[in-house]
Amino acid sequence: MKTIKYELDNGIATLTFDKPGSSVNTLCLQWQDDLSAATAQIVRERDAIRGIILASAKSSFFAGADLKALMRLKPSDASAMFAEIERMKKNYRTLETLGKPVVSCLNGAALGGGWEVALVGHYRVAVDDSKIQFGLPEITLGLIPGASGITKMTRLLGLMRAQPYILESKLFNPREALALGLVHELVPDASHLRASALAWIAANPRAQQPWDARDYKIPGGTPANPKIAAALSVAPAMLKKSTRGLYPAPEAALAAMVEGAQVDFDTALRIESRYLASVAVSPVAKAMINTFFFNLNAIKSGQSRPKGMARFKPQKVGILGAGMMGAGIAYAQASKGIATVLKDVSQDKAEVGKAYSIKVTQPRVNKGRMSAEDQATLLSRITATDKAADLASCDLIIEAVFESRDLKAQVTREAEPLLAPGGFFASNTSTLPISGLAKASAHPEKFIGIHFFSPVDKMKLVEIIRGQQTDDETVARAFDYVQALGKIPIVVNDSRGFYTSRTFGSFVMEGAAMLGEGIPAAVIENAGIQCGMPVGPLAVLDETALSLGVHVLDQTRADFNAEGRTYIATPGELLMERMVKEFNRQGRAAGAGFYDYPADKCAKKTLWPQLKPLFEKPGIAWDITDLKDRLLYRQAVETARCLSEGVLTAVHDANIGSIFGIGFPAWTGGAMQFIYGMGMNAFVQRADQLATRFGPGFVLNDKVKAAIRQHQPVY
């Protein structure tokens, strides 16, 4: 056996999981073969065995499935996948029903298939460490817990209590597991695990799983229970509302839970296996595994960070502008222990910005999730000021003032000299080219874009923009700063709108263009929702402010004129301009945009009634598939263009940036994975059709096609 060390000593059979050449154990094919061999050996030697211990030689217990192998699956592999799952479960059941006590010694994390391995034990002992995580995150990867996780968690917790841990992938630490009854004992460190296991084996010579007992009943009851039946009758509809029918895994998991609860344990396991085999070979699973595991880990491990640069730990960071963005950044920093100077033109404005941190934390204090002392400590880290001198010795200063090139230049020249030796300066602009803003800097090589998303306390993504003169050290320091905030950095090269704002603009402007073509606003908004965007394009335009969009349009025209060129506005931009300049509809903040926003905050917004007579064309033909494709393909095409132009340099930055920054549907795996999942030829063919009917926004030239092929991932 290559991945399992088998030892029989004094009647105790120990299976130590230790996959060679890997930092973690996975359910790879070799491990499955080794488990079969180990199980067969235990059966042969059963008379000499008093108990079985499952342990790990790694720092974690077990990581789960071999996701690279899953990425290579095709729909035709479903039957083979089912057989593999059933073989693994047969081994689990053999160990569980042998009549010998089995103990899982959890020295570290056990996630996904790893938690399912842990559940083989009749008794589970874990190290008491709050950093250790257990649970079933498969749904977040487009999969379901199909190696007995659904069946066992449902029988341990009941149909209703198990749902958050299965359908929502809620994780838990050892103490939480103990409270749930999922772990039976905690020990101070890994050195105590074996002694506890041996003591339990000695006290329980004939152990069995709860569901194998004759008097076992599912906690809370089966679907035949009227209360359970009533709750389950609405569950599919509620699930469909959240998934919009685009994510097969949650629906499959719920079905496996409910169907499995109505049959015997072994039949429930087979039901679960069939559902897993079905979703595992689906394109959605492949897309989500690619992005939420491989791409996300590529970013977390620093693949976009310049190599060879010393690590940077921010101590004191200044922020210019205490508006919504500046106040949000201040909170994000202070919550991570970073001393923060929040400067505005007046002390009152600076204090209002600091008070945002109270607004964010007070609900937690009220609910007992944060102490008043911790809140006070957080606030003490923020110095609200109107004095530039207070910025002295900052490692980093970020300007978060209004999107005006002149204003940004002014505050840059004022604050930059106050940086600590070796410090760097950043702009939080969402659209203005960094290389142009860096002209106001005395050290353009130490000037960079750090683009936060609103609201900062909720949005995980931060876009780092390298200017033409920005050096590697500054990029690396910006990357480290973003990670110090607990956020996800992507690194892009400078251009107008960078990556996220540019691609986001293609989405909202395509929606505005549809309205200009005469398509009903409600249809456009529903198309956005149906394809998986968080909200429709017109609602998003309102949220970000139509007036800001027009300001950016005016700035773009001015920049083009300064370069001796003429900017040709798109149909969507022209419609947005009419909304602001002709009808004074400036967006949600002004109470009027594509929607009307009632003064009563509890009342729902409604589409502006005048959209119908102003823009809709009675009798116009539209097709919902075309509308959905336009919204998705337009963003994917723009992303591919960014890749071909060098604005993006890595597919993982494109996929993560599109999902976490602009809400591109997670079921696609991101804007580039949407192309790869569709298949290059099919995507190009459909894009060509859309370009012929709806304009140059969908055109893929040879350079773009070459970039798509060049960056296609291989597993």
- DSSP per-residue letters across 609-676: TTHHHHH--TT----HHHHHHHHHHHHHHHHHHHHHHTS---HHHHHHHHHHHH---GGGTSHHHHHH
Q: What is the pLDDT of residue 338?
A: 98
- Is residue 235 over pLDDT 90? no
Tell me: pLDDT of 242 over 90. no
pLDDT digits (tens, 9 = 90+) for 287-346: 999 999 999 999 999 999 999 999 999 999 999 999 999 999 999 999 999 999 999 999
Residue 559 confidence (pLDDT) above 90: no
* CA distances for 403 relative to 32, 293, 411, 704, angstroms: 57, 35, 12, 31
pLDDT at position 399: 98
**pLDDT of 567:** 93
* Structure confidence at residue 688 (pLDDT): 97
Rounded to whole angstroms, how far apart are CA atoms 647 and 665? 22
Residue 555 has a pLDDT of 86
Chain centroid to Cα 391, Å, comes to 34
Tell me what pLDDT residue 519 has.
97
Please state, in angstroms and rounded to a whole number, the distance separating the CA atoms of residues 128 and 23.
Answer: 22
Mean pLDDT of the chain: 96
Cα 402 to Cα 579: distance, rounded to the nearest angstrom: 22
Under the banding of pLDDT at 50, 70 and 90, the label for residue 600 is: confident
Please tell me the pTM assigned to this model: 0.92
- State the pairing for strand pair 419-427/394-399: parallel
236: pLDDT strictly greater than 90: no
* Domain map (residue ranges) of the chain: 4-281, 316-494, 501-646+650-710
CB-based burial, 301-324: b 16+ in 10 Å, e otherwise: ebebbbeebeebebebbbbbbbee
Q: In this model, does residue 231 exceed pLDDT 90?
A: no
What's the full length of the chain, in residues?
A: 715
Report the CATH superfamily, name and number, of domain 316-494.
NAD(P)-binding Rossmann-like Domain (3.40.50.720)
pLDDT tens-digit series, residues 614-631: 999 988 999 999 999 999
Question: Tokens 């604050």, residue?
Answer: 415
In the chain, % of residues over pLDDT 90: 93
The pLDDT of residue 440 is 97
How much is the average pLDDT of 228-234? Answer: 89
Q: What is the mean pLDDT of residues 558-586?
A: 94
Place of tokens 């207070």: 390
Parallel/antiparallel/unpaired status of strands 123-127 and 185-187: parallel
pLDDT in tens, 96-107: 999 999 999 999
pLDDT surpassing 90 at residue 659: yes
- The pLDDT of residue 544 is 86
Residue 528: pLDDT band by 50, 70, 90 thresholds? very high
Instruction: Note the pLDDT of residue 666.
Output: 96
pLDDT in tens, 452-480: 998 999 999 999 999 999 999 999 999 99
Yes or no: say if 240 and 262 are a contact pair by the CB < 8 Å rule: no
- Residue 613 makes CB contacts below 8 A (sequence gap 6+) with none
Q: Count of CB atoms within 10 A of residue 679's CB?
A: 11
Give the pLDDT band (50/70/90) at residue 599: confident
Query: Which CATH number applies to 4-281: 3.10.310.10, 1.10.10.60, 3.30.70.360, 3.90.226.10?
Result: 3.90.226.10
Average the pLDDT over each of 45-49, 226-230, 246-250 and give the range with the smallest value. 226-230
- Predicted local confidence at residue 310, as pLDDT: 96
**Cα 207 off chain centre by:** 41
Residue 714 has pLDDT above 90, yes or no: no
Strand order in the sheet with 488-493: 382-385, 339-343, 316-320, 394-399, 419-427, 447-452, 461-466, 488-493
Side chain identity at residue 688, one-letter code = D
Lowest mean pLDDT among 62-66, 130-134, 313-317: 62-66
What DSSP string describes 138-194? GGGGT---TTTHHHHHHHHH-HHHHHHHHTS---B-HHHHHHHTS--EEESSGGGHH
Cα gap 475→434, rounded to integer Å? 13
Q: Do residues 4 and 31 touch, judged by C-beta distance below 8 A? A: yes
pLDDT at 431: 83
pLDDT of 715 > 90? The answer is no
Q: Which residue has 């020249």 as its token pair?
A: 413
Assigned CATH class of 501-646+650-710: mainly alpha
**Could you tell me if 305 and 653 are in contact, meaning their C-beta atoms sit under 8 angstroms apart?**
no
pLDDT in tens, 485-498: 999 999 999 998 89
Rounded to the nearest 5 degrees, what angle is found at the Cα of 158, between the Cα atoms of 155 and 163? 110
Residues with Cβ within 8 Å of 477's Cβ and at least 6 positions away in sequence, in order, are: 309, 312, 396, 424
